[in-house]
Amino acid sequence: MAAAFVACPPAAGIATRRLAAAAPAPDRPYKGGGAAAAAGQPPLPTHSSLRSTGKGSEWAAYGPNTKVIKGGHHPEEWSTDPLGRSVVNPPVYHASTVTFPNVAALRYAASDWPFTGMWYGRHGNPTTWALEEAFATIEGGDNACVTGSGVAAVNAALLAFLETGDHVLMTDAVYDPSRGFCDKFLGRFGVETTYYSPTSSVEEVAALFRDNTKVLFVESPASLSFEVMDVPALATMAHAKGAKVIIDNTWGPMFLQPFDLGVDVSINAATKYIGGHSDLMLGLIATTRECYRAVKSSVAELGCPPGSDDCYLALRGLRTLGVRLRAHEVAGYTLARWLEARPEVARIMHPGLESHPQHELWKAQFSGACGLFGLQLVAGFPQAALDEMLDGMKLFSMGFSWGGYESLILQNAINSARSVKYWEYGGELGQTLRIHAGLEDAEDLLADLEAGFARLHAATARIAAEERAAAEASTTAATSET
């Protein structure tokens, strides 16, 4: 929507108070600002929804826990109290319609939507901006966008950089619905996807690039099989070939600083650790300054906003992310080390353990581990026995979305979603399971697992006895017939 530039007059309200207070940002390429400058008019003011957060943030030099607390925290803007008293958290703005006090304010908003602050409910309000700014601050990105789910964040980020005729390189261990989006959706619009093995060398991935490769998508560690990728080396290589690098960093918020490693866009399914309580669906996309406009436009055009209540809950969860993650980490190591010593377990897939094939690579990139890891049983347990083990768990629930306070256990089929090559952990072994270590007492969780293994053995022995009895019965029947 084209509109002539008219400087926005100060008016009452949070957004305009921020407008009046903010300094102009000459390095931001506003359409409206450029047009205004060309017309010899003053530049548009910076709106807080465009405020630089990551490298340029006043919190950039602070520790990760301080960033979690201070990112996007603007109590001075969340109150209309004349004495400046304030609440600690942002109000929840329930908004579809945004009203404008005069034509000048409307024209200002229209001059470069959705980059001029409040314009229409779909594009954000002070509650969503607080969450976006907090996330960009902890990721070290320049800015961020929120979407209605993690899947929506992945899809919007991909669509920001792709058009018909383009090519994407995607890790073969990617979260399965992201694969579905590439195969079932992008393919229909003439965008081709090639999957690379998550353990490919940088040279092997480089060899898959084409002239039209626009995006290299990485997920590290993979959320079922936990392979770790050499993100900085891949990013350097992809940039030399002119592609953008998008990472799904859902496993490692706070522990992996994606922009220090050279990625352009970092996604987090905030449904998981950021929300932290298994009660909301949300996605977040942090970007470099260069990529922000493309990603925000993609999110705006796709129209996949979250509700403000969910943004509020996610922001509330985010403020305790540091302590929760450390507790999940300790519980995860406790369970993983205990499981690693069990005779029923063939291998643990936890990148923080020395036994993990890419442990050194992980150490070089991550400052910690969350509570999600995998394991593979030794061969020989009947499926029905494993079902009995899982059915009887007292503290571990079966469920897909991890990152909440509760412990989870889930059998999976890692190879079924792969297209490149056979899974390197050894498909000839037993069943694979994924565990999310929650915030219960670790001794109780271990006791629950121990009782589960006892059920597994008892059921295995009973099934073997039943099979022996059935075989003997059929032999006896066959003998008596002859």
Ligand X SMILES: Cc1ncc(COP(=O)(O)O)c(C=O)c1O
Applying CB under 6 A, the residues found at the interface with ligand X are 149-151, 175, 219, 223, 248, 250, 269, 271, 281, 283, 401
User: Degrees (nearest 5) of the Cα angle 146, 89, 321?
Assistant: 60
Considering beta carbons, is residue 150 or 332 the nearer one to ligand X?
150
CB of residue 155 to ligand X, shortest distance in Å: 10
User: Number of H helices and number of E strands within the chain?
Assistant: 15, 11
Measured from the CB of residue 372, what is the shortest distance to ligand X in angstroms? 9
Question: Of 26 and 399, which has the nearer Cβ to ligand X?
Answer: 399
- Residue 274 beta carbon to ligand X: minimum distance, rounded to whole angstroms: 10
Tell me which H or E stretch contains 65.
helix 64-70
CB closer to ligand X out of 68 and 146: 146
In whole angstroms, what is the distance from residue 431 CA to residue 345 CA?
10
By beta-carbon proximity to ligand X, the closer residue of 32 and 198 is 198
What whole-number distance in Å separates Cα of residue 241 and Cα of residue 219? 20
> Whose CA is closest to 275, among 312, 222, 231, 238?
312
**Nearest residue (beta carbon) to ligand X:** 150
Beta bridge partners of 409: 435
Q: In which element (H, E) is residue 31 found?
A: helix 31-38
- Cβ closer to ligand X: 113 or 366? 366
Q: How far is the CB of 320 from ligand X (least distance, A)?
A: 19
**Least separation, in Å, of the C-beta of 284 and ligand X?**
10
Using an 8 Å Cβ cutoff, are 277 and 317 in contact? yes
- Sole residue written with tokens 């990139």: 365
Query: Based on the number of CB atoms within 10 Å of its own CB, is 207 exposed (0-12), middle (13-18) or buried (19 or more)?
Result: exposed
For residue 29 the two structure tokens come to 């390429």
Active site residues per annotation: 122, 175, 248, 272
Task: Report the DSSP beta bridge partners of residue 236.
Answer: none
CB of 305 to ligand X, least distance (A): 14
Q: Name the one residue in this structure whose structure tokens are 């899809």.
A: 155
Instruction: Read off the DSSP letter of residue 109.
Output: H
Query: Which CB atom, from 401 or from 411, has the smaller least distance to ligand X?
Result: 401
Spatial CA neighbour of 210 closest among 167, 239, 164, 162 = 167
Considering beta carbons, is residue 175 or 333 the nearer one to ligand X? Answer: 175
Sole residue written with tokens 């996605």: 283
What is the Cα–Cα distance from 58 to 73, expressed in whole angstroms?
12
Please provide the distance, in angstroms rounded to a whole number, between the alpha carbons at the two ends of the chain: 90
Q: Is 175 helix (H, G, I), strand (E, B) or coil?
A: coil
- Judge whether 359 and 353 are in contact, CB under 8 Å: yes
